[in-house]
Amino acid sequence: MKSNPSHLKYLNLSHNKLQDSGVKHLCRFLESRDCRLGTLRLSWCSLSEISCDSLGSALKSNPSHLKHLDLSDNKLQDSGVKHLCRCLESRDCQLETVRLHYCSLSEISWFYLSEALKCNPSLLTQLDLRGNVRDRYSVRLCYQEQCPDCRPLILRCIW
Over its C-alpha atoms, the chain yields an Rg (Å, rounded) of 15
Q: What is the pLDDT of residue 89?
A: 87
Give the integer Cα–Cα distance in Å for 67 and 96: 5
Sequence ranges of the domains in the chain: 5-156
**Residues 46, 19 contacting (CB under 8 angstroms):** yes
Characterize the bridge pairing of strands 126-128 and 97-99.
parallel
Q: Is residue 112 helix, strand or coil? A: helix
Q: Mean pLDDT: which of 23-37, 68-82, 85-99 is highest?
A: 68-82
- Residue 116 pLDDT class (50, 70, 90 cuts): confident
Class of 5-156 per CATH? alpha beta
User: CA separation (Å) from 31 to 3, 98, 109, 124, 128?
Assistant: 14, 19, 25, 21, 25
- Residue 148 pLDDT class (50, 70, 90 cuts): low
**Residues 42, 11 contacting (CB under 8 angstroms):** no
The reported pTM is 0.87
Nearest-10 crossing angle of helices 136-146, 107-119: 30
